[in-house]
Amino acid sequence: MRLFWQANPCGTKFTDAAPGTRSFYEKVEEHRYAKEWHIPAAADFASSGGKKVLEIGCGLGTDGAQFARAGADYTGVDLTEAAIDLARRRFELFDLAGNFRTADAESLDFPDASFDFVYSHGVLHHTPDTERAVREIHRVLRPGGRAVVMLYHRDSYNYRVNIRLFRRAGAHLLRTERGLKLVHQLTGEPVESLREHARSLKQDAGSYLAANEFLNQHTDGAGNPLARVYSRSEAKELFKDFVEVRTALH
């Protein structure tokens, strides 16, 4: 798990700008909020001023920067040194205040009741023990605190249609160079990423096309070792220890 995300910090593939430069961070941010327009409202950055905020899976610090700009006492954790280094560099470059450390979501190194708000977007569905990670969120939240967590949805268009139908059909085209180039033209997915999919397909088609492994490979890039999807009821069960649980689809 750590090796994949160390080599592929989330968001880096969306720009050709040199990592760690102002242009790099600006382009990553522009892409993120254009594609995932729901994030600012869901995260409610503006209301975080003066609050102790923990982000689990801070990545490049894109959302963390919004919390910091709003005046939050922000802490970002991530599984990999690569992400933490890039997030810390972002805060230094844009003169933002924040704390960063590597951490495992399943075993957070914080005392009980440390934070007013815990935020995690698109991270916990990649952890081996998501239930344990959710219990850790509950533990580090102060009484009356709030968490916002994004998980992949089992009944989403992306899973039901894009991954299970379109991508599965397209996978068979990767058996030939001509088919690979056609998929690249149709989807815009990088050729090198498609070649990695093609290698996996050639090595063990049965394993690659198995439902769980195909999901792993087609959420966050070829080689991703683990991804899960959840229904609304499954998500509510994950957070059963919380006083109130609300779900929303984006």
Reported as a single tens digit per residue, the pLDDT across 48-92 is 999 999 999 999 999 999 999 999 999 999 999 999 999 999 999
> Which pLDDT value is given to residue 13?
79
Mean pLDDT score across all residues of the chain:
93
Does the pLDDT value for residue 1 go beyond 70? no
Name the residue range of residue 208's domain: 157-217
Domain contains 247: no
Is residue 147, in this structure, part of any structural domain at all?
yes
Q: Average pLDDT, stretch 131-140?
A: 98
222 assigned to some structural domain: no
Residue 112 in any domain: the answer is yes
Q: Verify that 198 and 147 share a domain, yes or no.
A: no
How many domains are contained in the chain?
2
pLDDT attached to residue 62: 97
pLDDT of residue 3: 76
Q: Does 43 score more than 90 pLDDT?
A: yes
Read off the pLDDT of residues 162-174 as tens digits, 9 standing for 90 and up: 888 889 988 989 9
Same domain, 127 and 147: yes
Radius of gyration of the chain from Cα atoms?
A: 19
27, 147: one domain:
yes
Query: In this structure, are 74 and 185 located in the same domain?
Result: no
The answer to whether position 103 is within a domain reads yes
Both 45 and 134 in a single domain?
A: yes
Residue 162, CA distances (Å) to 104, 198, 228 in order = 31, 18, 15
Are 105 and 178 members of one domain?
Answer: no
**What is the C-alpha to C-alpha distance for residues 110 and 248, in angstroms, rounded to an integer?**
29
Question: Is 192 a residue whose pLDDT tops 90?
Answer: no
- Whether 109 and 38 map to the same domain: the answer is yes
- Structure tokens, 193: 């990423």
188 and 211 in a single domain? The answer is yes
Q: CA-to-CA distance for 126 and 229, rounded, in angstroms?
A: 10
**Residues found in the chain:** 250
Is-contact 66 39, C-beta < 8 A? Answer: no
Tell me the per-residue pLDDT of 198-222, one tens digit each, with 9 for 90 and over. 999 999 999 999 989 988 898 888 8
Question: 69 with 100, same domain?
Answer: yes
Task: Render pLDDT for 3-27 as a digit per residue (tens, 0 to 9).
Answer: 776 777 787 877 888 999 999 999 9
At residue 219, the pLDDT reads 86
The verdict on 90 and 134 lying in the same domain is yes
H or E stretch at 61: none
Is residue 246 in a domain?
no
Is 245 part of a structural domain of the chain? no
Q: Are 15 and 31 in contact (CB under 8 A)?
A: yes
| Residue 14 is assigned to a structural domain of this protein | yes
Closest CA to 57 of 1, 18, 95: 1
Report the 3 state secondary structure along 135-181: HHHHHHEEEEEEEEEECCECCCHHHHHHHHHHHHHHHHHHHCHHHHH
For residues 85 and 50, state if they share a domain.
yes
Give the pLDDT confidence score for residue 9 in this predicted structure: 75
What tens digit of pLDDT does each residue of 103-114 get? 999 999 999 999
Whether 139 and 187 share a structural domain: no
Q: How far is CA 74 from CA 33, 51, 94, in A?
A: 20, 8, 15
